[in-house]
Amino acid sequence: MSKRNKLQKFAEILSFPNVLENIDPAVPVLTRNQSEQVMLNGRWNQDQFPANHPITLELACGRGEYTLGMAEMYPERNFIGVDVKGARIWRGAKNALDKQLSNAAFLRTRIEQIQLFFAPGEISEIWITFPDPFLKNTKTNRRLTSHRFLSAYRQLLKEGGLMHLKTDSDELYQFSLESLAAYPGVELLYHNPDIYAEPLVLPELAIKTYYERMHLAEEKTIKYIQWSLS
């Protein structure tokens, strides 16, 4: 993608009503519609979505395929895709506007800051879809299923809130199982190192991201873990 094209997309998403961005990580204020500044902690259902429904986050959402797919699948729920890369979010946000999916929104920020933008217990469910596995041993704390992130998710989730990981990485899959086993309050509900080897346990698992299609073309197996946090 050309630099000019990226800059054009960055400019466009600033005007999208379904995209919110954080400019200063020291201040949990979000910008919407180019200049409107809002603080949505505890108010996402009142001030962003037209209906008060359970909220699901998709972390490392990329182009937002899961956010859009689940928003279409479950109109009685609200969905927020989170990623730091604006050019990727642009695609998901534009598709949501084109499809008039009022229950889908996007938050552009670093996932390390996610707890700044939601009230405790505001989130019902979290999906982590094909995140960077950070394979170097020196970067294990950047993996989205490491204990530092699990602690952040616990703040956001309702009691017993569900979490899901979908990945092609054998290393991240095994690391995640070990991390969850060592973290207090985790109930491991299901895990499978090859979800397409048998009937899918959830209809959402049939949604395929851009990266998943690439992994399947390379004959990689897709892994899945589901757990709850209390």
pLDDT in tens, 114-165: 999 999 999 999 999 999 999 998 889 999 999 999 999 999 999 999 999 9
Please give the average per-residue pLDDT across 13-22, as a whole number.
Answer: 91
- Whether pLDDT at 1 is above 60: no
Q: What range defines the domain where residue 52 resides?
A: 40-229
What's the CA angle centered on 117, arms 101 and 26, to 5 degrees? 135
Q: Considering the chain, what percentage of its residues have pLDDT values greater than 90?
A: 85
Does any domain span residue 223?
yes
- Whether pLDDT at 6 is above 90: no
What residue type is assigned to position 65 of the chain? E
* CATH code (residue 68): 3.40.50.150
Active-site hit among 24, 98, 132, 168 = 132
- Token couple for 95: 């598709």
Domain tally, the chain? 1
Distance CA 134, CA 142 (A): 7
- Predicted confidence at residue 23, as pLDDT, reads 77
The dihedral over CA atoms of 153, 158, 164, 169, expressed in degrees to the nearest 10, equals 10
- Predicted confidence at residue 139, as pLDDT, reads 86
Task: Note if the pTM is more than 0.85.
Answer: yes
* 151-208 residue pLDDT tens: 999 999 999 999 999 999 999 999 999 999 999 999 999 999 999 999 999 999 999 9
Does any domain span residue 165?
yes
Please give the average per-residue pLDDT across 74-101, as a whole number.
Answer: 95
Does any domain span residue 206?
yes
Respond yes or no: is residue 132 known to be catalytic.
Answer: yes
